[in-house]
């Protein structure tokens, strides 16, 4: 018999789902109200990219918070946060190839090839796809825990790629990408500290 789902998880998951969906709902409201500013394409790209990075950082924050607070139920929310990172990454990708480039495939390929920040962003999105595909319990069982964890550590590379993608994109005001970089450095630094402290447990995800 399966263990009962804790009450905090039963209540928390729907609330987290609604909270994570709220930025998308707000974006739709802004679109319908024609409130995307003088450059709607840039607003869409920036907005969806920002929320992709934020959810990547939220996902990476679960392990440190769980270990520092002792509230181990937090791990039950990590998958949803990761999938929302993928959801907003898909919106970010679509806003580029559809709204910005209007599916002009030659121009899209040229951008990926010639513009480093787009090359890095595209590579980070491609790396995110297999993590989303293998996020189910069935895929964990099929891959085995060790291989699944090894695959999902690619999220560190994706997060670094996303921050650098943002940093390379901005021209002068680097305050926001620098803040993301600082938070990411703290999250990865914690993992390095935890591994050096207890290497027998292996790198934490």
Closest to 82 in 3D by CA, of 113, 128, 122? 128
* Confidence class for position 197, pLDDT limits 50, 70, 90: confident
Look at residue 9 in the predicted model and tell me its pLDDT: 85
Residue 68 buriedness (CB in 10 A; 0-12 / 13-18 / 19+): exposed
Look at residue 60 in the predicted model and tell me its pLDDT: 97
Token pair, residue 6, equals 């804790």
Look at residue 1 in the predicted model and tell me its pLDDT: 47
The domain limits of the chain are 7-201
Read off the pLDDT of residues 83-139 as tens digits, 9 standing for 90 and up: 999 999 999 999 999 999 999 999 999 999 999 999 999 999 999 999 999 999 999
Calpha distance 205→108 (Å, rounded): 34
Task: State yes or no: pLDDT of 4 exceeds 80.
Answer: no
Whole-Å CA distances, 205 to 117, 130, 174 = 26, 16, 28
pTM of model > 0.85: yes
The rounded Cα 100 to chain-centroid distance in angstroms is 22
Read off the pLDDT of residues 21-79 as tens digits, 9 standing for 90 and up: 999 999 999 999 999 999 999 999 999 999 999 999 999 999 999 988 988 899 999 99
């Amino acid at each position: 018999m399966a263990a009962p789902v804790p009450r905090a998880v039963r209540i928390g998951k729907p609330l987290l789902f609604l909270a994570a969906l709220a930025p998308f709902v707000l974006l739709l409201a802004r679109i319908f109200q024609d409130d995307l500013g003088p450059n709607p394409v840039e607003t869409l790209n920036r907005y969806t990219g920002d929320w992709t990075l934020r959810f990547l950082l939220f996902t990476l924050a679960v392990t440190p918070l769980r270990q520092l607070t002792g509230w181990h139920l937090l791990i039950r929310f990590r998958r949803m946060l990761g999938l929302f990172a993928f959801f907003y990454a898909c919106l970010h990708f679509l806003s580029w190839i559809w709204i910005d480039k209007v599916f002009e495939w030659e121009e899209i390929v040229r951008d990926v090839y010639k513009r480093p920040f787009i090359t890095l962003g595209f590579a980070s999105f491609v790396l995110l796809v297999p993590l989303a595909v293998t996020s189910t319990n069935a895929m964990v069982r099929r891959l085995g825990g060790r291989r699944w964890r090894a695959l999902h550590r690619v999220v560190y590379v994706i997060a670094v790629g996303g921050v650098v993608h943002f940093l390379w994109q901005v021209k002068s005001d680097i305050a926001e990408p620098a803040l993301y970089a600082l938070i990411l450095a703290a999250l990865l630094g914690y993992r390095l500290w935890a591994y050096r402290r207890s290497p027998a447990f292996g790198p934490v995800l």
